């Protein structure tokens, strides 16, 4: 059997797993994980075979392409509405392969981890059914060959996100967070949907490869509008300002969901979408500036909030926003490979950090407030060490993952002349190191601040949860070096070259700047490592440190003193810059009043008129009743008047 014929299995297996588990899962009870986990394992095997095949160049060339290896298959016709013809088909090229690595690997590990994490939950089977539905949707999203099919998957991952955020439906906060996530996403989806319509009306097709080939036929304004509309969709799914408000609330969902959907895979869909349609953006440089600006603004906004939050998962959620902002900024400045590079490394280390936080939360009996933690490093060693690796990685300490990917983003921003992007990104790098080591300090170092009874019962999670942590630590340690070396001509650049070459050629007419380790590039690397180290050290000094022999107490009085020195910034950060309050006023209070006014209008004016007509008919009837009195003389009078009128008008008109 050829690999090509197995591609549909990547989506068919998870949807079957979903269907079977949804139908009989309740009866399987605590064995309900077997079908979903084995399904995803099979998907992972097929995906890895495809990835190796495509990235090594042994796969055939894609039809119509001279250097892009991969597979393109058409599955069935979905919408045959005359000229509006949409096929469901799949394309696996090197970009999809990169996404497949992240999605299937983390997907599999999260499935395994959930066996332990969800073991006491009454909705065990339901959880695994939803996870499989999500895997189906996410795989469809990265594999689909048609914009409208991408949109389908786009909405389906949104549905899964809704179902999983609201998984603990008894909690009103979870139900509200789920609703918020879906609706905010839909705001962005308006843009995406309109973009799809504009593409179809302009080019008569929605096949991605065909659209990309022919995009140059359109005028600049149309391309820019298409780009911005697609970006609007990406902003919703990847939670970029001002549509970022749903992601922190999404932490109401179970932690494996936060790791899989809200850190490693679904939130990357926005980056994937614009990377997939990169030639469109290449023709609209001004749209790219918007992308860069929104991205880097989100990065610093979210990082500033992450610095003061006390809920361990919310810190990680704001961190995710911030890192996604980096990726958009990278895309905006033209560092497309670096964006995908960071997407991959971030997927692994953020997945690791979230699963680690889940292990912490489990250990301290569902406590998420870091103020009630501390000193856990001695009790949950595997969680501690893997999370420390993750924290070092996200901070950009060499040679861990984000050192390579983040530095490539910052370096290219500088070299392509986006000094402002570089400057903000540089500051954010320091903030990132700070909030991560604040998190580590509050959680693992110092002394435990929760109840004594809990402290005595804290123990490391079962192997089914710690093994995924250890497995994720491996790419966190080495993936950056594997993909990012040799500097200046990295492996991932070679992989993605066929996907990005044409677009980059349109974007930068001059040759790409060369790479000098003992020159500008070296200086930039040194600068970012320094700022990361500074952030780390400040975090250490304020929140304590306890790595091996290095031990220092935390200094809460110093923290208070520092935050009192910048009261506005501190309150802004603590209150998330009041975006939730603003949205509440705008959409719940004012929006609600407007809707109520519309309803008043409907009852009183529209329906009021209808009733008025009805009532006036009754009134008129009452009035006309006077005519039918039953008195003959009245009728005779009527007849006489009628005759006179008729005769008179006849005489007048006949003349």
Partner 1 sequence: MDVNSIPILTIVTFLPLIGALIIAVAPPSAARATALAFALLTFVISLFLLVGYLPGRPGFQFVETADWIPAFGIQYKLGADGLSVSLVVLTTLLSWIAILASFKPIQTRIKEYMISFLILEVGMIGVFLALDTFLFYIFWEIVLVPMYLIIGIWGGANRIYATMKFVLYTLVGSLLMLVAILATAFAYQSGHDGAWVGAFDFETLKAYAGTGGFADGLQILAFLAFFLAFAIKVPMFPFHTWLPDAHTEAPTAGSVILAAVLLKLGAYGFIRFALPLYPSAAETFAPVIIVLSLIAIIYGAIVALVQPDLKRLVAYSSVSHMGFVTLGIFVFTEQGLQGAILQMINHGLITGALFLLVGVIYERTHDRTIAKMGGLSAKMPVYVAVFGFFVFASAGLPGLSGFVGEFLVLVGTFEVDPYAAAVATFVMVLAASYLLYMYGRVAFGELSDFLAGLGDHLTDMTPVEILTLVPLGTLVVIFGIQPGLLLDLFQGTVVETLAVVDPASPIEIPQAAVIGLLAIVLILVLARVGWAILRPRPTFEPEGGAAH
| Residues near partner 1 (CB under 8 A) | 77-84, 148, 151-152, 155-156, 159, 162, 166, 169-170, 172, 174-176, 178-179, 182-183, 186-187, 189-190, 193-194, 197-198, 200-201, 592, 594-596, 598-599, 601-602, 604-612, 614-615, 618-619
297: which 2 tokens? 């603004």
Closest C-alpha to 317, from 353, 277, 289 = 353
The residue assigned the tokens 């006849």 is 650
181 vs 410, beta carbon nearer partner 1: 181
526 vs 595, beta carbon nearer partner 1: 595
Please give the Cα distance from 336 to 405 (Å, whole number): 11
Q: Are strands 84-92 and 71-81 parallel, antiparallel or unpaired?
A: antiparallel
229 vs 382, beta carbon nearer partner 1: 229
142 vs 469, beta carbon nearer partner 1: 142
Please give the Cα distance from 111 to 426 (Å, whole number): 36
Closest contact distance (angstroms) between CB of 392 and partner 1 is 40
Please give the Cα distance from 650 to 655 (Å, whole number): 9
Closest contact distance (angstroms) between CB of 424 and partner 1 is 31
How far does Cα 591 stand from its chain's mean position?
26
- DSSP one-letter code for 418: -
C-beta separation of 357 from 313 below 8 A: yes
Closest C-alpha to 272, from 347, 213, 216, 322 = 347
C-beta separation of 309 from 345 below 8 A: no
Closest contact distance (angstroms) between CB of 605 and partner 1 is 5
C-beta separation of 25 from 32 below 8 A: yes
Closest contact distance (angstroms) between CB of 301 and partner 1 is 23
What's the CA angle centered on 197, arms 151 and 201, to 5 degrees?
Answer: 140
Closest contact distance (angstroms) between CB of 87 and partner 1 is 11
156 vs 454, beta carbon nearer partner 1: 156
Closest contact distance (angstroms) between CB of 26 and partner 1 is 9
201 vs 654, beta carbon nearer partner 1: 201
The dihedral through the CA atoms of 622, 623, 625, 630 has a sign that is: positive
Closest contact distance (angstroms) between CB of 601 and partner 1 is 8
For residue 100, say if its preceding peptide bond is cis, omega within 30 degrees of 0: no
Residues 6+ apart with CB under 8 A from 300: 322, 325, 424, 427, 428, 431
505 vs 593, beta carbon nearer partner 1: 593
Closest contact distance (angstroms) between CB of 242 and partner 1 is 14
- DSSP one-letter code for 584: I
Closest contact distance (angstroms) between CB of 497 and partner 1 is 33
Closest contact distance (angstroms) between CB of 101 and partner 1 is 26
Closest contact distance (angstroms) between CB of 562 and partner 1 is 41
Residues 6+ apart with CB under 8 A from 606: none
Compute the CA torsion angle 406, 409, 410, 413 (nearest 10 deg).
-170
135 vs 440, beta carbon nearer partner 1: 135
197 vs 534, beta carbon nearer partner 1: 197
How far does Cα 459 stand from its chain's mean position?
33
Q: Are strands 84-92 and 545-547 parallel, antiparallel or unpaired?
A: unpaired
C-beta separation of 337 from 345 below 8 A: no
The dihedral through the CA atoms of 192, 241, 334, 57 has a sign that is: negative
137 vs 391, beta carbon nearer partner 1: 137
Please give the Cα distance from 163 to 165 (Å, whole number): 6
Residue 189 in 3-state DSSP?
helix
117 vs 151, beta carbon nearer partner 1: 151
511 vs 618, beta carbon nearer partner 1: 618
Closest contact distance (angstroms) between CB of 171 and partner 1 is 8
Closest contact distance (angstroms) between CB of 67 and partner 1 is 33
115 vs 152, beta carbon nearer partner 1: 152
Residues 6+ apart with CB under 8 A from 203: 210, 211, 214, 215, 217, 218
């Amino acid at each position: 059997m050829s690999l090509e014929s197995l591609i549909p299995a990547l989506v068919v297996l998870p949807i079957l797993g979903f269907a079977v588990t949804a139908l009989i899962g309740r009866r399987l009870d605590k064995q309900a994980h077997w079908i979903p986990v084995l399904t995803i394992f099979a998907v992972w095997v097929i995906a890895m075979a495809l990835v190796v095949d495509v990235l090594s160049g042994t796969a055939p060339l894609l039809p119509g392409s001279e250097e892009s290896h991969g597979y393109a298959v058409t599955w069935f016709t979905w919408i045959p509405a005359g000229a509006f013809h949409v096929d469901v088909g799949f394309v696996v090229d090197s970009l999809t392969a990169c996404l497949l690595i992240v999605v299937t690997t983390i997907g599999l590990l999260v499935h395994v981890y959930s066996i332990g994490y969800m073991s006491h939950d009454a909705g065990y089977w339901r959880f695994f059914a939803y996870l499989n539905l999500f895997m189906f949707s996410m795989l469809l999203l990265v594999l689909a060959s048609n914009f409208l099919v991408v949109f389908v998957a786009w909405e389906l991952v949104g549905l899964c996100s809704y179902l999983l955020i609201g998984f603990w439906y008894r909690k009103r906060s979870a139900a509200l967070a789920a609703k918020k996530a879906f609706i905010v996403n839909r705001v962005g989806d308006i843009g995406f949907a309109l973009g799809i319509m504009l593409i179809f009306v302009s080019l008569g097709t929605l096949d991605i490869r065909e659209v990309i080939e022919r995009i140059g036929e359109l005028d600049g304004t149309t391309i820019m509008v298409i780009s911005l509309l697609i970006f609007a969709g990406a902003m919703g799914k990847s939670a970029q300002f001002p549509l970022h408000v749903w992601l922190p609330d999404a932490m109401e969902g179970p932690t494996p969901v936060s790791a899989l959907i809200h850190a490693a895979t679904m939130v990357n869909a926005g980056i994937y979408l614009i990377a997939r349609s990169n030639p469109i953006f290449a023709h609209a440089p001004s749209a790219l500036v918007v992308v860069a600006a929104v991205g880097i603004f989100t990065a610093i906004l979210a990082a500033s909030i992450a610095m003061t939050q006390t809920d361990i998962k919310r810190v990680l959620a704001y961190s995710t926003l911030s890192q996604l902002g980096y990726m958009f900024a990278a895309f905006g400045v033209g560092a497309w490979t670096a964006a995908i590079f960071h997407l991959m490394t971030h997927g692994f280390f953020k997945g690791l950090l979230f699963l680690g936080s889940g292990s912490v939360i489990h250990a301290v009996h569902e406590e998420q407030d870091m103020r009630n933690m501390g000193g856990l490093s001695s009790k949950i060693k595997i969680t501690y060490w893997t999370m420390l690796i993750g924290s070092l990685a996200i901070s950009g300490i060499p040679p861990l993952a984000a050192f390579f990917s983040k530095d490539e983003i910052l370096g290219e921003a500088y070299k392509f002349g986006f000094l402002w992007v570089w400057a903000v990104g540089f500051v954010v790098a320091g903030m990132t190191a700070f909030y991560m080591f604040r998190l580590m300090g509050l959680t693992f170092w110092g002394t435990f601040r929760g109840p004594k009874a809990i402290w005595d019962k804290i123990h490391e999670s079962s192997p089914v949860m710690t093994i995924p942590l250890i497995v994720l630590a491996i790419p966190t340690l080495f993936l950056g070096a594997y993909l990012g070396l040799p500097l200046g001509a990295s492996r991932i650049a070679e992989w993605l070259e066929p996907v990005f070459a044409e677009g980059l050629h349109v974007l930068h007419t001059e040759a790409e700047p060369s790479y000098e380790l003992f020159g500008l590039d070296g200086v930039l690397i040194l600068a970012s490592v320094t700022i990361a180290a500074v952030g780390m050290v400040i975090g250490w000094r304020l929140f304590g440190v306890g790595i091996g022999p290095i031990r220092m107490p935390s200094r809460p009085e110093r923290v208070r003193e520092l935050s009192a020195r910048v009261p506005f910034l501190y309150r802004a950060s603590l209150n998330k810059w009041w975006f939730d309050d603003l949205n509440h006023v705008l959409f719940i209070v004012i929006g609600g009043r407007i809707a109520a006014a519309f309803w008043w209008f409907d009852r009183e004016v529209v329906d009021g008129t209808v009733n008025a007509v009805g009532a006036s008919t009754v009134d008129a009837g009452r009035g006309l009743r006077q005519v039918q009195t039953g008195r003959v003389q009245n009728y005779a009078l009527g007849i006489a008047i009628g005759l006179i009128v008729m005769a008179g008008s006849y005489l007048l008109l006949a003349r």
